[in-house]
Structure 1
Amino acid sequence: GMGSFVFTPEKGRTYYAEVTYRKNEKRKFRLPEPLRTGYVLHAEQLSREKVGIRVETNKPITQDPLANDIILMAQVRGKEMYSEVIDMPENRTEKILDVSAYPAGVCQITLFDGRGIPRAERLLFLRKDDWPSLVISGLNKEYDFRKKVETEISVALAGNAIAGGSYSVSVAEFSDSAQIESSVFTYMLLNSDLHGTIENPRWYFENDRQERREAIDLLMLTHGWRRFRWESILAPDFKWPFFEEEKGITITGKITRDLFAIPIRNAKVYLTILNAYNDYFETRTDQKGRFRFDNLDYPDTISVVVEARKPNGRKNLVIIVDENEFRPAETQTADARAQMVLAKGDAWKYKNVKRIDYTYNPEKQKILERSKDFKIHGEADNVIYMDDIPEGYTDMLQVLQGRVPGVLVQGNTVTIRGPGSLMLSNDPLFLIDGVPVDINAFRSLNPKDVELIEIIKGPNASIYGSRGANGVIAVYTKRGEFMKRGFLDFKMLGYATPREFYSPDYSIRSTEGINDLRTTLYWKPDIVLDSVGKSTVSFYTSDIKGTYVLKVEGITADGKPLGSFAFFSVGK
């Protein structure tokens, strides 16, 4: 239950609320300590169009004009509807707000002192008369098994039809009141603006009687102060979140030189969508070597080819396509100290660090033979076959970590046989299918695309000259062309192809002898009302006897959420 009481606290005293439960059990809750000075904010909705606000304070008047001012702000759904700086020479002020143009929903009224520090907050729920009604008509109370149900959905305001919008319909066996207690209507107008649990939010909107209005006002009081930091929001350097409007699928990336990841600006980039489309797009990189293809609209998984050329027409470059950031998989790897010991060759002292030794295997020998097309060195000092690595890795550094003696992975760096220079770089040479790349390109590889990793150390790496002085880490992909110069192909996830909800048609098909055990009779998520604001829905009942609920939810073309439901029974 909810309720309210009014009292005036005295400074220096401590107050408790004593609650008596059903079994005469009593518990005491300490109330906030009274402040010596402060503010009182009172607000109530006088009518549909007017809200009355009264502010009082016992703070002494000073020579500082800011200390005598207050700031009132009202907002609905995050949109500021009113703000004003008010002088309080008599420590009291009253204000009448015209809320006729405010949208329906939770109105948050916040009181700041003259220096912008929030001191009090009050929530009010604004009801509106100009709200459309969603009506379900033509539905009978009872239906027999496997009979056709046809009903009409309509939306209107003051007798005028409202066309368009987006609505969904579901018909399922009624099993719990939770199926009807909440909807997109109650969520957008109530739940989304309040913290905590709201029991049966639909109850507050069943009618507009005085008891419901008083109850929803108590709900605003008990779910009021949300304790977010206004100071950071009002700061001049506050960075408001920016979400770019999505009009389609976007492919972004960058073009760099073979070595040192130097961006190439003004490079031509070509995108080809294969499969049955063969669509072709062209763009150029910006000053930072980045490219972008926007508003792509393709279903399912499609094959994509990205090609690039330098301004002079050459293809000796690297194409890197941006991918979604995934949380690294949690894997069991050696800790930092064990890795330091491993780099010194004492791995046998630590049980959680395993050295990988390989015996002859015909399949692995074939993998080595395929890699010869991309390398100039001979036999590698260490070889990691990705078939031996457990699934779940999302970063190539995780694959290396703790698996090869003498290779140390610390954060985003890799060293072979420990640090070798205090002044120069200690990074090894990274090769992907024979193409030199930097560590960023190495990390951008998907471990699932890699077939083999070779580690070349000491004299064996001398064939690569000074670049191999710190060792070589050579990666070979399964396709053998992952780093083909000026060319990159991959699979891209397009939009999911919607599946049609199965609903039998017993008027044209006989299914005698087959039990129809459906408890969800119908579902359609994309209903659009016609020009007169109506849509017809039809489906067949099943062989399951019981009570069913037809639930309609949606949003009008101008953004007003609606919801309605109706019951019927199956089987006499």
Structure 2
Amino acid sequence: WNAIAERITFVNNHEYTFQPQMEVQHWGLGKRKRNEIEIRLPDSLQDANLSISVTDVAIEKDTTDNIISHFLLSSEIKGRVYNPAYYFSNNSDSVARHLDLVMLTNGWRRFKWEDVVKGKLPQITYPRDTSYLYLSGKLFGVARNQLSGTESIALLIKDTAASKMLIMGINTDGSFGDPNLILFDTLKVYYSLKSKFLSSAEARFMTDRLPAPNYTAFSKNFMYSNNIFDTTGMAHHISLASKALELANIDRGHVMQTVVIQTTKKPTVAVMDEKYTSGMFKGGDGYQFDLVNDPITGGYQNAFSYLQGKVAGLQINTNTTPPSLSWRGGSPAVFLDEIQTDADMVGTIPVTDIAYIKVFRPPFMGGFGGDNGAIAIYTRRGSDQAPGKGGLSSNTIAGYSPVKEFYSPNYDRFDPRNEHADIRSTLYWAPIITANQNNKSVKLSFYNNDVAKAFRVVIEGMTKDGLLTHYEQIME
């Protein structure tokens, strides 16, 4: 059969939405006064995810679209809809007739009748995610018959704050990973392969992730023409921006009188000790080596070859695997970034990636096996990173973007930043607020700026079963 004629219609039964309730617990419309509001959800709702913003009501706001009109109308039809939020503004007959006119003048392109008759399902180009972005990788440069599934890879995961060591099994196809290790920000990963058959293999990380999109950078000569006519709100917004620029220029223009401070420069090893060590590793009687500022560091292969002949009584043999260490009749403990490890693992790290070494005389009370002393090795971080490549023993990988919290001042406590003028246009913003059956109420507080006389509160979100909400209220 063939379709002779068709038209689309919108069944606006309002079963797609829910209405939250907002109550102001504490009013503060004055300068820098505190406000507190409570948001309650209906008892019949499932888990909900909300986004809440509070802005200066004097700032012009685009009200032509919202979460309901976008999901249910403008994103569903192919043609452009002017002011889609209008068709959900109220339940009057005139708005319903206008919505039906939009249906008459737009075509439905979600499916083809010929495919429906044939039972042909649409092809899903981008299936939904089934897991998070976690640490994974694959070995290259090794044949499949060399992998039995019993091999392992040792990983040292390092960021700006801490380090973590892991041992992962390698599958027969060369892949490895840990779904429980979700990545954030940028990390540097050192790896070591224990098997001698894998000495020529290379580990590549995050091989299954999508490539980053290509963004076009605009040149300085790029001109943008804004055809939106000015309004009172836009003029107010420009006034606030000009005031912020003026205050920033004033702060930069303050020149203090010359102050001469005399002090004694600390030795570089003392600076490195303060920067890298903590707890039982800080201070004490030991040998200290600053590899960042040592010009002959590049002539050594690893930390143990660097230490040979530099510590009285410490005997190091780098010709064995792992390197043998002997001091006063015993073997000293080895720590990498204050995590006890074995000498074989440390021996794979290039000396150009090491910033500081501290050798403690026996006995060392900071860890197990310290009766015969200890060797604490610290890898470089931040500006101390070696300028050249670290070879195939390390990779830099990127995870999820780090979470940044929206700045909201607290005028009930002292903060030097509170001395500046407050001309924020957005007073509060929380992109993710979760509510569930056990907690249907959410309380939040914020402080007014120096100029706002009224606030606009906008709440948008979705429940677990797909109900939407767009709630807006003026506080004045």
Question: Gaps spanning 5+ residues in structure 2: where?
Answer: 217-297, 302-385
Q: Counterparts of 1:541 and 1:193 in 2: how far apart (Å)?
A: 39
Q: 1:146 and 1:297, CA in 2 relative to 1: closer, same or farther beyond 3 A?
A: same
1:134 corresponds to 2:17: no
Q: Counterparts of 1:561 and 1:237 in 2: how far apart (Å)?
A: 28
1:482 corresponds to 2:388: no
Q: Please state how far the C-alpha of 1:481 moved relative to its aligned partner.
A: 4.8
Q: 1:529 and 1:244, CA in 2 relative to 1: closer, same or farther beyond 3 A?
A: closer
Q: Is the CA contact (8 Å cut-off) linking 1:138 and 1:152 kept in structure 2?
A: yes
1:165 corresponds to 2:48: yes
* Match among 115, 139, 145 for residue 31 of structure 2: 145
Q: Where do residues 35-434 of structure 1 align in structure 2 (5 Å cutoff)?
A: 70=1, 113=2, 120-130=5-15, 131-138=17-24, 143-156=29-42, 160=43, 162=45, 164-174=47-57, 178-226=61-109, 239-243=123-127, 245-257=129-141, 265-266=147-148, 268-270=151-153, 272-275=155-158, 276-287=162-173, 289-308=174-193, 314-321=198-205, 322=207, 324-325=210-211
Higher alpha-carbon deviation: 493-502 or 140-149: 140-149
Q: Is the CA contact (8 Å cut-off) linking 2:28 and 2:35 kept in structure 1?
A: no
Give TM-score, length-normalised by structure 1: 0.45
Q: Counterparts of 2:22 and 2:202 in 1: how far apart (Å)?
A: 60
Partner of 2:413 in structure 1?
A: 508
Q: 1:202 and 1:141, CA in 2 relative to 1: closer, same or farther beyond 3 A?
A: farther
Q: Is the CA contact (8 Å cut-off) linking 2:58 and 2:452 kept in structure 1?
A: no
Q: 1:239 and 1:204, CA in 2 relative to 1: closer, same or farther beyond 3 A?
A: closer
Q: Please state how far the C-alpha of 1:235 moved relative to its aligned partner.
A: 7.9
Q: Is the CA contact (8 Å cut-off) linking 1:172 and 1:548 kept in structure 2?
A: yes
Q: Counterparts of 2:65 and 2:124 in 1: how far apart (Å)?
A: 31
Give TM-score, length-normalised by structure 2: 0.53
Residue type of the alignment partner of 1:482: G
1:520 corresponds to 2:405: no
**What CA deviation, in whole Å up to 9, does each residue of 1:401-433 have, x standing for no partner?**
xxxxxxxxxxxxxxxxxxxxxxxxxxxxxxxxx
* Match among 442, 447, 465 for residue 558 of structure 1: 465
Q: 1:274 and 1:177, CA in 2 relative to 1: closer, same or farther beyond 3 A?
A: same
Q: Is the CA contact (8 Å cut-off) linking 2:188 and 2:397 kept in structure 1?
A: yes
**What CA deviation, in whole Å up to 9, does each residue of 1:461-482 have, x standing for no partner?**
xxxxxxxxxxxxxxxx975553
Q: Counterparts of 1:141 and 1:196 in 2: how far apart (Å)?
A: 44
Q: Counterparts of 1:556 and 1:328 in 2: how far apart (Å)?
A: 34
Partner of 1:544 in structure 2?
A: 451
Q: 1:155 and 1:508, CA in 2 relative to 1: closer, same or farther beyond 3 A?
A: same
Q: Is the CA contact (8 Å cut-off) linking 2:57 and 2:452 kept in structure 1?
A: no
**What CA deviation, in whole Å up to 9, does each residue of 1:103-139 have, x standing for no partner?**
xxxxxxxxxx2xxxx6654322223354421222228
Q: Please state how far the C-alpha of 1:162 moved relative to its aligned partner.
A: 3.1
Residue type of the alignment partner of 2:463: T
Q: 1:502 and 1:254, CA in 2 relative to 1: closer, same or farther beyond 3 A?
A: closer
Q: Counterparts of 1:171 and 1:249 in 2: how far apart (Å)?
A: 32
Identity of aligned residues (%): 23
RMSD over aligned CA atoms reads 3.9
Q: Is the CA contact (8 Å cut-off) linking 1:166 and 1:555 kept in structure 2?
A: yes
SS of the equivalent of 1:185 reads helix
Q: Please state how far the C-alpha of 1:207 moved relative to its aligned partner.
A: 2.2
**What CA deviation, in whole Å up to 9, does each residue of 1:231-267 have, x standing for no partner?**
6786869643352524322344432336xx8785445
Q: Is the CA contact (8 Å cut-off) linking 1:161 and 1:532 kept in structure 2?
A: no
Q: Counterparts of 1:172 and 1:566 in 2: how far apart (Å)?
A: 11
Q: Counterparts of 1:243 and 1:145 in 2: how far apart (Å)?
A: 50
Q: 1:494 and 1:209, CA in 2 relative to 1: closer, same or farther beyond 3 A?
A: same
Q: Is the CA contact (8 Å cut-off) linking 1:555 and 1:561 kept in structure 2?
A: yes
Q: Counterparts of 1:120 and 1:263 in 2: how far apart (Å)?
A: 62
Q: Counterparts of 1:566 and 1:507 in 2: how far apart (Å)?
A: 26
Q: Is the CA contact (8 Å cut-off) linking 1:519 and 1:544 kept in structure 2?
A: no
Q: Please state how far the C-alpha of 1:541 moved relative to its aligned partner.
A: 0.8
SS of the equivalent of 1:216 reads helix
Partner of 1:496 in structure 2?
A: 401
**What CA deviation, in whole Å up to 9, does each residue of 1:143-163 have, x standing for no partner?**
22222222221222xxx3536
**What CA deviation, in whole Å up to 9, does each residue of 1:533-554 have, x standing for no partner?**
2211211111124543111111
Q: Please state how far the C-alpha of 1:209 moved relative to its aligned partner.
A: 2.4
Q: 1:224 and 1:143, CA in 2 relative to 1: closer, same or farther beyond 3 A?
A: same
Q: Please state how far the C-alpha of 1:171 moved relative to its aligned partner.
A: 1.2
Q: Counterparts of 2:139 and 2:419 in 1: how far apart (Å)?
A: 64
Q: Please state how far the C-alpha of 1:142 moved relative to its aligned partner.
A: 8.3
Q: Hey, which of these two has a bigger chunk of helix by percent?
A: 2
Q: Counterparts of 1:501 and 1:327 in 2: how far apart (Å)?
A: 26
Question: Gaps spanning 5+ residues in structure 1: where?
Answer: 1-69, 71-112, 331-369, 374-476
How many residue pairs are counted as aligned between the two chains? 300
Q: 1:257 and 1:302, CA in 2 relative to 1: closer, same or farther beyond 3 A?
A: closer
Q: Counterparts of 2:409 and 2:443 in 1: how far apart (Å)?
A: 17
Q: Counterparts of 1:208 and 1:329 in 2: how far apart (Å)?
A: 43
Q: Hey, which of these two has a bigger chunk of strand by percent?
A: 1
